[in-house]
A and B are shown apart, each in its own frame.
Chain A
Amino acid sequence: MYPTKYHKPASIEDAIAALGGGDDAMVLAGGQTLLATMKQHLASPSDLVDIRAIEGLSGIAVRGGSLTIGAATTHAEVAGSGDVREQCAALAALASGIGDPAVRNMGTIGGSIANNDPAADYPAALLALGATIITNKREIAADDFFTGLFTTALDEGEIIVAVNVSAPTKAAYAKFDQPASRFALVGVFVANGASGVRVAVTGAGEDGVFRHAGLEAALSADWSGSAVDGVDVAADGLMSDMHAGADYRANLIKVMAKRAVSASA
């Protein structure tokens, strides 16, 4: 790795100051993507600002059917949380399928969504659940947060503090793993709750995670696997790479949506 300077601030204010102090400073949380990227020389931040020692950034709280998950909460903590299982079992199940056990012990929800990898799992969940992303400056609706490949609405010097999710009536996530990386070749999160039926797709879109209007309309009318059959899922705007073509991904979106609806509880 290229040389970098490590900071471990105890407060958001100190973290912002450290981020502003370097030429090209980056936030470090679990590091399960960032450190691997640095090892490949694909990232070379001048400074790393580790947010894990900041009080209140980690942990899960429930208030009246609403889950607040701190940005530095690990995938293993989300997967193992009784509160998450009770309020939104689909989210706990999704977290238990990210990477592998050692990665889940370090990787964080805040890091995953700030990175917004087009094949990551959490963006699909937060978009389908209509989550709110809480930063040190403001609250951002998931609909406005994920803005493109590895791109989010976060400004310079803005740090995710937590995400807020309302418990859905029914939800599930179905993922077709890319067998080498275990990232989603296609993943579909379906949710039926206070904000209606929302369906988010990861792993497939050229611009990253997206909602599918056709699937949402069909499932709003009839929450069943067979309702997916009549939906036209176009290959336009879907990724093609060595693992799968756009048409294959389009078909997988329907298959995963069906599986998710059938599994939803």
Chain B
Amino acid sequence: MTKVNMNVNGKAVSGDVPDETLLSQFLRETLRLTGTHIGCDTSQCGACVVHVNGQAVKSCSTLAVSLDGADVMTIEGLANGELHPMQAAFNDNHGLQCGFCTPGMIMSGVDMVARYKAEGKDLTSDAIRAELEGNICRCTGYHNIVKSIEDAAAKM
């Protein structure tokens, strides 16, 4: 067991976990932050995307012990009194059906909007589709997800 200290959603947290514990397990089982979902066993689906030190990362493909001292933001940390513009846009544009992939879609969406804005690049709908390469939705198709991210990008 190894003691891990992190800052998750602005709060200092710690836990004693086996070294092979994935960040996704640490978030869900140790911290009980179950908004981060596990959708596949192969690191492909992106339902588990969180932000580590400001970057989108698949929490199922990262060891918790390797992130001692890191800043982690999960879907639970996005809303600040009211919904984050990305969450509101998914609601307004019906960007989900069953909702299982949505936490990862939203965390990836926030990351891509921030990155494109920082680089001064235009986040077109084609760019959104390319950026969503690592986020899989098995319900709706991606049309309303792309619309949601476009809508949020205009408000962020």
Contact = CB atoms under 8 A, between A and B. Distances in A.
Partners in one complex: yes
Interface of A: 1-6, 8, 28, 31-32, 35-36, 38-40, 48, 50, 52, 76, 99-103, 105-106, 181-182
B146 to A, nearest CB: 15
Contact of A32 (B41, B43, B56): B43
Contacts of A48: 19, 63
Contacts of B66: 6, 8, 28, 31, 50, 52
B77 interface: no
Interface residues of B, number: 28
A2 B131 CA distance: 33
User: Considering the complex of A and B, which 5 residue pairs feature the smallest CB-CB distances, nearest first?
Assistant: A100-B134, A6-B19, A100-B133, A36-B43, A1-B20
Contacts of A52: 66
B106 to A, nearest CB: 13
Contacts of B137: none
Given A1-B22, A101-B131, A105-B57, 4 more contacts: A2-B20, A6-B63, A35-B43, A100-B46
Contacts of B55: 76, 105
B103 to A, nearest CB: 13
26 contacts: A6-B63, A6-B65, A31-B66, A32-B61, A35-B43, A35-B62, A36-B42, A36-B61, A39-B22, A48-B63, A50-B66, A99-B133, A100-B133, A100-B134, A102-B46, A102-B56, A102-B57, A102-B58, A103-B43, A103-B61, A105-B56, A106-B57, A106-B61, A106-B62, A181-B44, A182-B133
A35 B61 contact: yes
A182 B136 CA distance: 13
B87 interface: no
A59 to B, nearest CB: 16
